[in-house]
Structure 1
Amino acid sequence: MTAASAIDRVLVIKLGALGDFLLALGPMQAIRRDHPSARLTLLTRAPYLDLAQASGLFDEIWIDSAPKLNPLAWLALRRKLRGGRFRRVYDLQTSDRSAGYFRLLGGAGGPEWCGKVPGCSHRHVYDAPSPLHTVERQREQLAIAGIDDVPLSDLGFLDAPIADRLPARPFVLLIPGASPGRPAKRWPADRFGDLAARLDAQGLGTAVAGTAGEGDLADAIQAAAPEALDLTGATSLPELAAFARAARLVIGNDTGPTHLAALAGAPTLALFSADSDPGRTGPRGPHTRALQRDDLADLDVEAVLAETGDWIARDPRLGDGAT
């Protein structure tokens, strides 16, 4: 194993999705700490460029061109990768695509490679799918390369001034969206609306976060709770982190913004169906909980209120009720 001090060029591969990228920031921060003088390059996808730049971790960020059946595109990518003259690669994607990049870089004859692909120098062998949470799995992976202290992602770099946009009273941030291709991950919008109405009756406001394409979810919630603040399509990631920190708590589906809220330090309840496993992919943070039903249509508002009642009564960041 080459000493970290002798490794002057490092490639990190993390292509997405948002929740996975956010969880991988802790490993990325640990890699930068252990290679303070190396030129650190990230290979990622275009949606995560701004986030990667804001992290301040990388000297260079390359956008994955995702070539498919175009031989010229593959040749161009091979030239680019080999031209980076990397001494070590940290494959935090560990997918078939990133395994292909191992081969483009020369396989076992190329740079040191920390990942799961057979033949690499620092191979992490585990069952697929791994029974471990992503956080623990990546800690095991980096330990093989001599990086032993891998904390949770620090999102302190994500912040923005939002004081003039905050609700006038303490509020709960709702995240009713999720991947359009996985509708089973969504708690019905009318349940979020019922929840917002009940929170309003308890003296708490609500704000609804999501993409511009999820405005219909905010409309459904406002039909039950007209004073709910619609933030869909109106927040950058730094602004979303700031709203999460300002909220009494965050309640959301298994989706990237819910991961962001948890890692930003907000008390966060994530709602899961059988479509995903909170033990393997659930949000991580100082104050997080998960509530799961095989079918989220079977999750009633009373169960959500019961799970968060102590948080509603008192912010766990103040001391009592911290998890």
Structure 2
Amino acid sequence: MSEDEADKEQILVIHEGALTDVVRMLAPAKMIRDHHRKARITLLCGEEYEGLLKHCPYFNAVETNLDDTAKRNFFDRLKAARNSGFDVIYDLCGSEGAKKIGRAVRFSKTRWVSAAPRSDRPGHPLEQMAAQLGEAGLGPTRYLLGEAPPPDLSWIDFVAKRSRTLEPAYFGLLGRYALFAPAGEDVLPAQRWPKERWASLAHELLEAGVEPVIVGGPNTREVGRYVAHVTPGARDLTGRANLIQLAGLGRKASCAFGEAAGLLHLMAAAGSPAVLFHPGENAPLESAPRGLSPTLLMHAPTLAQINAKEAVQAMRCAGGFADASNAA
């Protein structure tokens, strides 16, 4: 750290969690950056999502030793807290590791701000986090459902200018395309849209002149291979793109479809209109993906009750075919 950086206000943001939580965290992280414009902000997190978060402009540095820091004994954590030089620490996750650091910080001059969402409280996590930051002086202290700023990955555009691997053309996508983000095999079958429905949706999109692209990790390869096999023209990219590349694809996609998987949250935050398939009698208003484009929620007691034509119509309502004259 240079002398100029050392003279700046020092801010630490702590976060760990699944991909869904990481994407949501970007919204309060932007609020913190906007409030502390001239500060040096460090993110303390786990290693899993460093490849994505190291490009985020809200942080000056990303440290991935959260687990090691939390495993220290109390007195070592206390000494580290007193010597850290941080003026404010924001806890955006409420994990056990963050709580251990928080207990040590109580005995230092560092200000501790807890803004982690809680499942036992009503409201979407984004409204919860924004309201808690408001109580700390970063804005309004109350948000109605849908009022909190959504996560915004538009900064991916700047990353893409430096790396062609984030461009759709890198994966051979030269026209309009839609992203399929199916849940993996680790999710119960009753909570997944059947692979036959994904294949039918791929056929409907091809008829509309939109190329279907299946994305996800190794646990979604069965769906990807099946759809690509029975629907010639569909593209299987499961296991072939990392998170920053997937965000790059999301920013230029005509639309994205998926269950309540982290990748759909990433696509929505990147700017893609989205359709969420959710099993249940009620729409998941307090857990749905958020982004700058609309997300339409489709729910049914059994996901197989949702058919491909209904999904396409939902996407039209969400604005996913706004630029597709032959699909209007």
TM-score range, shorter chain: 0.7 to 0.9
In 2, distance between residues paired with 1:34 and 1:250?
32
Q: Which residue of 2 aligns with 1:209?
A: 215
Q: Retained in 1: the 8 A contact 2:91–2:113?
A: yes
For 1:144, which of 131, 135, 150 is the aligned residue? Answer: 135
Q: Retained in 1: the 8 A contact 2:89–2:110?
A: yes
In 2, distance between residues paired with 1:83 and 1:18?
31
Q: Retained in 2: the 8 A contact 1:178–1:253?
A: no
Please state how far the C-alpha of 1:110 moved relative to its aligned partner.
5.3
Where in structure 2 are the equivalents of 1:17-32 lying within 5 Å?
A: 17-32=18-33
The number of aligned residues is 304
Q: Retained in 1: the 8 A contact 2:296–2:315?
A: no
Please state how far the C-alpha of 1:139 moved relative to its aligned partner.
1.1
Q: Which residue of 1 aligns with 2:114?
A: 115
Q: Is residue 38 of structure 1 aligned with residue 29 of structure 2?
A: no
Q: Deviations over 1:85-104 (max 9, x none)?
A: 32221111024442232113
Q: Retained in 2: the 8 A contact 1:267–1:316?
A: no
Unpaired segments ≥5 residues, structure 1 = 1-5, 117-123
Q: Which residue of 2 aligns with 1:271?
A: 277
Please state how far the C-alpha of 1:144 moved relative to its aligned partner.
0.8
3-state SS in 1 of match to 2:99: helix
In 2, distance between residues paired with 1:114 and 1:317?
46
Equivalent position amino acid for 2:54 in 1: Q
Bigger drift between 252-261 and 168-177 goes to: 168-177
TM-score, structure 1 normalization: 0.80
Where in structure 2 are the equivalents of 1:208-287 lying within 5 Å?
A: 208-274=214-280, 278-285=284-291, 286-287=293-294
Q: Retained in 2: the 8 A contact 1:13–1:44?
A: yes
Bigger drift between 201-210 and 46-55 goes to: 201-210
Please state how far the C-alpha of 1:313 moved relative to its aligned partner.
8.2
Please state how far the C-alpha of 1:259 moved relative to its aligned partner.
1.0
Please state how far the C-alpha of 1:168 moved relative to its aligned partner.
4.9
TM-score, structure 2 normalization: 0.79
In 1, distance between residues paired with 2:266 and 2:191?
17
Q: Which residue of 2 aligns with 1:59?
A: 60
Q: Which residue of 2 aligns with 1:121?
A: none
Please state how far the C-alpha of 1:13 moved relative to its aligned partner.
1.2
In 2, distance between residues paired with 1:196 and 1:34?
44
In 1, distance between residues paired with 2:72 and 2:254?
52
Q: Percent of counterpart pairs with the same letter?
A: 26
Please state how far the C-alpha of 1:251 moved relative to its aligned partner.
0.8
Bigger drift between 26-35 and 267-276 goes to: 267-276
Where in structure 2 are the equivalents of 1:59-138 lying within 5 Å?
A: 59-66=60-67, 79-106=79-106, 111-115=110-114, 128-138=119-129
RMSD of aligned alpha carbons: 3.3
Please state how far the C-alpha of 1:180 moved relative to its aligned partner.
2.3
In 1, distance between residues paired with 2:43 and 2:68?
17
Unpaired segments ≥5 residues, structure 2 = 1-6, 141-147, 161-165
In 1, distance between residues paired with 2:96 and 2:225?
40
In 2, distance between residues paired with 1:88 and 1:303?
49
Q: Deviations over 1:54-77 (max 9, x none)?
A: 013223322244369x97566655
